[in-house]
Amino acid sequence: MSDLSLDTLDIHSTDLYLTRGYPFAEWDLLRHESPIHWYERDGIEPFWAITRHADVLTISKHSEVFVNSRRLRLQSIEDDERQALSQRIRIESRGWDPDEVSDFILMDDPRHRAFRLLVAKRFTPAALRSLEGHFARLSSTFAREFEAELLAAGRRGETTDFVKGFAEKLPLSAIGEMMGLPDGDWRRLKQLTNVMIGAPEKDFYREGETRNEAQWRAVEEMTDYMVGVVHDRRKRDRKARDLSTQLVHAKIDGVPLTEQQLQGYLFVLLAAGNETTQNAISGGVAALLEHRDQLELLCSRPDDDDLIVSTAEEILRWTSPVLQFARTAVRDFELDGVTIREGEAVGMWYPAANRDPAVFDAPYRFDITRNPNRHLAFGGYGAHFCLGANLARWELRAALRALIPVLPKMERAGGPERCPNLHVSAIHRLEVQAAA
């Protein structure tokens, strides 16, 4: 940390995340010396960097002051401009309304609340409890398949990729089934979302194609697919239980959602429903393999439901799959003695908040018995608390239960390898090998 300074530290360059992972040393310095820090660098619009747990909570709970609609994510000016251009072209080419917000995450209350409530009941613990057995069966099947793949690779003296072999399968299957999407489409949809977050999906790229060009093409294909889902569901019985049909026939204040709103909603459900949970599973297994004492503790008590729950919560704290969200102040607000002016943006860094020593004893110790564990992996509560938090928790617990017989047979062989993404952890590869 002695080589770092507040004037020169870098928490926004995607290449650093790609090569180094999370910049915990930089976040620690900020939290210690300037927890509400005006971050101004070339190539990115300035913002207040928020690294303290209490401050993230305060901002999240004041959604009437800090809004989503003006700036949701921190990224380079170049990326902002490119995405705005591609969004405008995509909307205009389909004859949609350029002033209509397609993504309900970009909305603020009361409109955000109205859109969120359309499917909120499907993500409650009571609703998901009926799927618990199904999640368990899926996880067990995927774990057995992965174990066979792991051992076969070991006999050949090779490694295998845990992300492709296990981590991406359960979240994709769960949200795909809930949305009523044909299972034959899941692999392609997963590939599209991977490309959008920067994963090097070689089978997708055309010769000479840049990452930006591939991402644009993936967005176009995903949009066309979701529009097709909308048209298909409009022909179906509105009593069907899948989320896609439910949304297509839903109304807000007596008005059905437009095609533009529906495709945006469906895309958010698909992407948010698999990317973050996949990264939690991948990062969690990487942590268990690195901290063998915790792995052995978990595997020694396979029927201890409380330990499964606390392990899942510690994995969520430790991995913090979502890096950051931004908000913009619509009026002046004093945050612990610092005045945030109207129009200024704040960036909430969740992994930093989840290593705050004011909240977590020994924050850099991976402890699957940690209790309490007031992590902010799903955001800081308030109006924009993650809609799929319960689903992610149930999936992660199911994955852990299924993997307990397999984990002792695994060792890390490299990685994790990440995508150049400033919003999500985006682990696209985790090489493992059969234990010696």
H helices present in 339-388, as ranges = 350-353
* Confidence check: pLDDT of 357 > 60: yes
pLDDT score, position 152: 98
Top-confidence residue, 127 or 19: 127
8 A C-beta contact, residue 355 and residue 26:
no
Q: Going by C-beta distance under 8 Å and a sequence separation of 6 or more, which residues neighbour residue 142?
A: 166, 169, 170, 402
Give the whole-angstrom CA distance, residue 425 versus residue 280: 9
305-319 and 259-290 helices, crossing angle to 10°: 110
pLDDT, average across residues 206-233: 92
* Confidence check: pLDDT of 341 > 90: yes
pLDDT score, position 1: 45
pLDDT score, position 362: 98
pLDDT score, position 383: 86
Q: Which pTM was predicted?
A: 0.95
Domains of the chain as residue ranges with CATH:
14-434 (1.10.630.10)
pLDDT band, very low/low/confident/very high, at 143 (cuts 50, 70, 90): very high
Three-state DSSP state, 363: coil
* Confidence check: pLDDT of 231 > 50: yes
What percent of the chain clears pLDDT 90, i.e. is strictly above it? Answer: 74
* Confidence check: pLDDT of 323 > 70: yes
pLDDT in tens, 76-106: 888 888 878 888 888 888 889 888 888 888 8
- How many Å is the maximal CA-CA distance in the chain? 64
pLDDT score, position 172: 92
pLDDT in tens, 26-81: 999 999 999 999 999 999 999 999 999 999 999 999 999 999 988 877 888 888 88
pLDDT, average across residues 191-215: 89
Cα dihedral across residues 287, 291, 292, 297: positive or negative: negative
Cα angle, residue 1 at apex, residues 283 and 38 outer, rounded to 5°: 85
Exposed, middle or buried by CB within 10 Å (0-12, 13-18, 19+), for 382?
middle
pLDDT in tens, 260-315: 999 999 999 998 888 889 999 999 999 999 999 999 999 999 999 999 999 999 99
pLDDT in tens, 158-200: 999 999 999 999 999 999 999 999 999 999 999 999 998 888 8
- DSSP output for 44-67: EEEEEEE--HHHHHHHHH-TTTEE
Top-confidence residue, 14 or 231: 231
Partners of 424 in the β-ladder = 322
8 A C-beta contact, residue 107 and residue 115:
yes
Three-state DSSP state, 251: strand
- Using CA atoms, how far residue 135 sits from 72, 298, 406, in Å, is 32, 20, 18
pLDDT, average across residues 129-142: 93
pLDDT band, very low/low/confident/very high, at 380 (cuts 50, 70, 90): confident
pLDDT score, position 2: 57
* Confidence check: pLDDT of 134 > 60: yes
